[in-house]
Structure 1
């Protein structure tokens, strides 16, 4: 059975993904800011769930991750699912900075630590929830799309690094479109996936150790179209 750590698992995709692994019999370490929600899941699966409560924008991220690894007796899969993003219509500085701290700074610190842990161990699997929004900029949420682009590009670099170093470390970039969670904000949303369907696709992609997965699969077409669209036309949408 695998030892899986999910950063950001108190709700939404993170929580449902944790449940998928638990139902499959794996040991799961979960983190988040709301301890009562972590404990709630631990009470349901007392023999399989280990918790560590912290905010990824804090200063002791790697200490918390090490504590969780020690509790579990190791780590085979690391998933960075913590994310922040909201509409910043007037370019709110506080929101832009907080989003970047969560989606970039916290992500890099913990993912680098996990990668180096797997280097020492000789094998492992790193995954991160970026977004189809990483494909292009967005005037309504500049820091969100930019930070998700950072995550996606960084994950590609890690995959290349693992191959160059001839390491058995899989790297998966999870790119959801709209999923029915609290992160799905704004008007005119389309192709909004039910949470269980989205997480089913994520779980199966991780089991296959895929390099990249669009959730749901149809969003691969949207991502391709966004990449091809000239700025002259795209700016009217974003």
Structure 2
């Protein structure tokens, strides 16, 4: 039986992935800030879920929680970082930007760093993180969100490069969703909004295939190609 940890499993994509993994004979460690939601998920299958409640912005307690959860699971094959935050912030409220950076950069880095070092010592493992199509370009209405997702993309690329040089069975997957019907989807005029069920199933398929980068849903790769090619002068007016 394989063992996985999902960071941010109280709702949305993280919760959906936890349920899929358990259905596919994984033992799953689930984390998040809201212990009641973690316990509710655990009650569905008490023998398959292991819980730890903590906030990823509190980096002083991340390592001890991940170590303890890994011990409870009896090892670790897969770690998924699904925890993240982002708000529309046209007025550039610094507290919103600060919270976004603390979660999507500091907390993310602490967990990714722990996971990679664990897998390198173990000589195998799979790190998966949920970034965003938004990380491909800047955003005037959510500057910190897009910038932090860009950071995640680059950090994961760096870890893939390190993994390649180890010549071990270490894999790093960057999941780049467009709009998914979760609390994170904010703003008007959204299109190609995927259900959580469809998104998580495609993510699970990407994990099984150990893809380096996967757009969710798949047609968002078209948007990614367009975004990358829009000239700066035109993009600035959009």
User: TM-score normalised to the size of structure 2?
Assistant: 0.98
What is the aligned partner in structure 2 of residue 65 from structure 1?
A: 66
C-alpha distance in structure 2 between counterparts of 1:62 and 1:94, whole Å: 26
Cα displacement (A) at 1:236: 2.3
Corresponding residue number in structure 2 for 1:100: 101
**1: CA distance, partners of 2:192 / 2:91:** 27
Question: Residue 53 of structure 2 corresponds to which residue in structure 1?
Answer: 53
Q: 2:220 aligned with 1:219, yes or no?
A: yes
Q: CA deviation at 1:204?
A: 0.6
Query: How much does 1:158 deviate?
Result: 0.5
Count of residue pairs the alignment pairs up: 237
Tell me the CA shift for residue 116 of structure 1. Answer: 0.6
Unmatched runs of 5 consecutive residues or more in structure 1: none
SS in 1 for 2:167: coil
Counterpart of 2:19? 19
Q: After the TM superposition, list the runs of 4 or more consecutive aligned residues in structure 1 that deviate by more than 6 angstroms.
A: none
SS of the aligned residue for 1:60 comes to helix
Aligned to 1:37: 37
Q: C-alpha distance in 2, partners of 1:216/1:98?
A: 27
Inter-partner Cα distance in structure 1 for 2:134 and 2:237: 16
Provide the alpha-carbon RMSD of the alignment.
Answer: 0.7
**Aligned partner of residue 176 in structure 2, secondary structure:** strand
TM-score, reference length from structure 1: 0.98
The residue correspondences of 1:1-238 to structure 2 (distance < 5 A) are 1-58=1-58, 59-237=60-238
Secondary structure at the aligned position of 2:30 is classed as: strand
Gap regions ≥5 residues in structure 2: none
